[in-house]
Structure 1
């Protein structure tokens, strides 16, 4: 039997640094627009949950933390940026356009896009689930992601 004398049980495992969201990108600008729209209607926090497996998945629900006596106006419009692609003269052309959608749909779309950006293919195989949390007080969006997988441990012993 061999042992690695350089590794110790008390060494911290270093997690990879997640990619930074370019604030000038479409996702970065839409993040700011959504946080601003949520603050304007008095929402402190919104949690969008998602789940998927076996090649399909998506947003399951949107829950808003609001002051007592107010309700979430899911159909309130918000203007966001998107990229539109067209095929012309033998090449793909992309343009950025603004479009207005109900805020609940905008939150769902943003959650789908950001999870795909960070965890592409998350819905395949055993899948994954998680939450995208808009925290207006912290001016942040937090992605809580759990990936599922099947594990096996083969061992063969010949005596």
Structure 2
């Protein structure tokens, strides 16, 4: 579903639904693969109307394909093209730091998994950007308060 939001200049802004625009997903994985990154993990947690996305941790494979040995490495400081929005059919592309792009993608994918995950009792988990499969995996544990009421008459 595409939403149209009128602006003061009467231009229409069209936004695609989450989780992530295909061009942005491709830009993230292209940058990670060019840097030799095997995968990236981004932690998140939140509750009581506050959400937090942590710093991404990148991993490289120091082993072989048959026996991978993953070690943390520094995420490269790269600028990538980021498709921000469409205005009257024109795509707005901006440059975004790879770390900021991973942050935005994490928010988009967690919201697509459970909108409002940071509200009430909240949730926590990890978003993993798996380069060899070009997939984004959201591993989320949602919290809730349960009430177990009993009544007995003796």
TM-score of the pair, normalised by structure 1: 0.71
Size of the alignment, in residue pairs? 128
Change (3 A) 1:79 1:127: same
C-alpha contact (below 8 Å) 2:85/2:92 kept by paired residues:
yes
Gaps of 5+ in 2: 1-15, 63-70
Q: 2:59 aligns with which of 56, 60, 65?
A: 65
From 80, 103, 109, the equivalent of 1:108 is 103
1:27·1:114 contact (CA, 8 Å) conserved in 2?
no
**Is residue 135 of structure 1 aligned with residue 130 of structure 2?**
yes
CA distance 1:128–1:94, shift in 2 (3 Å): farther
Question: Residues 63-119 of structure 1: CA distance to partner in whole angstroms, max 9, x if unpaired?
Answer: 00025696421x21111112267xxxxxxx786311111101110111011111221
What is the CA-CA distance between 1:28 and the residue it aligns to?
A: 2.9
Cα gap change, 1:55/1:43 in structure 2, threshold over 3 Å: closer, same or farther? same
For residues 1-159 of structure 1, what are the structure 2 equivalents within 5 Å? 26-67=20-61, 71-73=74-76, 75-83=77-85, 96-159=91-154
Q: What secondary structure does 1:66 align onto?
A: strand
TM superposition shift of 1:48: 0.7
Q: Which runs of 4+ in 1 moved over 2 A?
A: 25-29, 66-72, 93-96
Distance change (3 Å), C-alpha of 1:57 and 1:94 = farther
Q: Work out which of the two has the higher radius of gyration on C-alpha atoms and give 1 or 2.
A: 1
Give the RMSD, CA atoms, in angstroms: 2.5
